[in-house]
Chains A and B, each alone.
Chain A
Amino acid sequence: DAGVIQSPRHEVTEMGQEVTLRCKPISGHDYLFWYRQTMMRGLELLIYFNNNVPIDDSGMPEDRFSAKMPNASFSTLKIQPSEPRDSAVYFCASSLWGLSSYNEQFFGPGTRLTVL
């Protein structure tokens, strides 16, 4: 299996531009998570989906952030408009309920976003 795939690996954009991050979970997994990692705040859960339905988006920082999962094999995290404080590494992870008692989350390689 290819694991969780994220694109792009690096993104540099200017303040005010729209940014779209993409994620392909491991085939067959029914949970998908978006995390953000910064030096100040560490790793934070932004939102997660179960069977393509958003379950908890309480970690989404503000209305500029939105996430979608149109099908079981694809999810996007969009920031519009982007701001310098959005600069971070964004991780996508997926898991399969019942695979084990603790439902391990498998992480993608992350997207490093820099907003100038």
Chain B
Amino acid sequence: AQTVTQSQPEMSVQEAETVTLSCTYDTSESDYYLFWYKQPPSRQMILVIRQEAYKQQNATENRFSVNFQKAAKSFSLKISDSQLGDAAMYFCAYKRSEKLVFGKGTKLTVNP
């Protein structure tokens, strides 16, 4: 079974600085998708960024980018110019067919 590991239960960053959240996963498949979701205190799950495994180019969405290392099965999220509104739980997720498998999450605190 696929597993997703987020080794940092909590992280903090100063406003306007850059932070990287780590994620590793285990799979024997070659075709899959990876996601980062944000969950603010409102509980709403918000898709931040996605990566197709067959694409070598790292995905970027404004201040959010990923470092996808397929051979190492690593998928880290970099948040640049951190803002107070970025404070939330961040979940890494793996998807093959229609099933999403989530990591346990990283709680990000942004300090003013």
Q: Majority SS of interface residues in chain B?
A: strand
Q: Is the CB of A107 within 8 A of B52?
A: no
Q: Majority SS of interface residues in chain A?
A: strand
Can you list, as one digit per residue, whether each of A29-58 has a CB less than 8 Å from chain B (1) or not (0)? 001010000000011110010100001100
Give the interface size bracket for B toward A: 10 to 19
With both beta carbons as reference points, the residue of chain B lying nearest to A44 in the complex is identified as B102
Give the interface size bracket for A toward B: 20 to 34
With both beta carbons as reference points, the residue of chain B lying nearest to A111 in the complex is identified as B43
Q: Is the CB of B47 within 8 A of A103?
A: no
Q: Is the CB of B52 within 8 A of A102?
A: yes
Q: Is the CB of B95 within 8 A of A102?
A: yes
With both beta carbons as reference points, the residue of chain A lying nearest to B33 in the complex is identified as A102
B43, B52, B91, B102 — most chain A CB neighbours (10 Å): B43
With both beta carbons as reference points, the residue of chain B lying nearest to A91 in the complex is identified as B45
**Chain B: residues with CB nearer than 8 A to chain A?**
33, 35, 42-45, 47, 50, 52, 91, 95, 98-105
